[in-house]
Amino acid sequence: MKSEYNKDIYIRHFKEADIPALLNLIAQIASSEDLTKIAHIQFSNELASPDHEGSRFVATLDGLVVGTMGCARGPIPSSQALWADWLIVDSDYQRCGIASLLYSEIEKYAFERGKRYLCLDIGNIDKERAAYLFHLNNGFQIIGQLPDYWCDYEHLNIMAKFLTSRK
């Protein structure tokens, strides 16, 4: 896909050499926790586990990693679903269609493996309004909520999308 910079954006599977760039993307997330430590452990485990059910993709522009997204069995494993995680686009490259390209690849990956649903956890809908609206506009619905899960007024909102064929 051509970006607004008139350059091609490529989506590919991630590799070990991408981890530092992915951690830099994750460092852009405002959080009281050090999410880079959590992510580094997760990404390393994904690469080290030969039986990992899922995949992680990166978006590149001129060889620079500008986005990432993965999917896996998730916290509530099911033969019918994969859980999407870590959808992050570099703040300098947002609103260029990169997140939609990553989602398209994840959905294709899940559908080709016979999954019927793609699920995710979106945090506080008010604080994460853009992410919430993005997911709604891309066919996701809130299917459950655990109030005060993360802390007071920080709910766990579970969203899901029914996957259809990508012809």
CATH number for position 104: 3.40.630.30
131 pLDDT band (50/70/90 cuts)? Answer: confident
Is 72 part of a structural domain of the chain? Answer: yes
134 lies in a domain? no
Q: How many domains does the chain have?
A: 1
- 164 is a domain residue: no
Q: Is the pLDDT of residue 67 over 90?
A: yes
Structural domain harbouring 65 = 9-119
- Answer whether residue 101 is part of any domain: yes
User: Which pLDDT value is given to residue 81?
Assistant: 95
Is 166 a domain residue? no
Sheet holding 141-151, edge to edge: 9-13, 54-61, 64-72, 81-89, 117-122, 154-162, 141-151
pLDDT tens-digit map of 14-63: 999 999 999 999 999 877 788 999 999 999 999 999 888 899 999 999 99
> Does residue 125 lie in a domain region?
no
Q: Is the pLDDT of residue 7 over 80?
A: no
Is residue 154 a part of any domain in this protein?
A: no
pTM of the model: 0.87
Question: Which of the pair, 23 or 126, is modelled with greater confidence?
Answer: 23
With respect to residue 160, please indicate whether it lies within any of the assigned structural domains. no
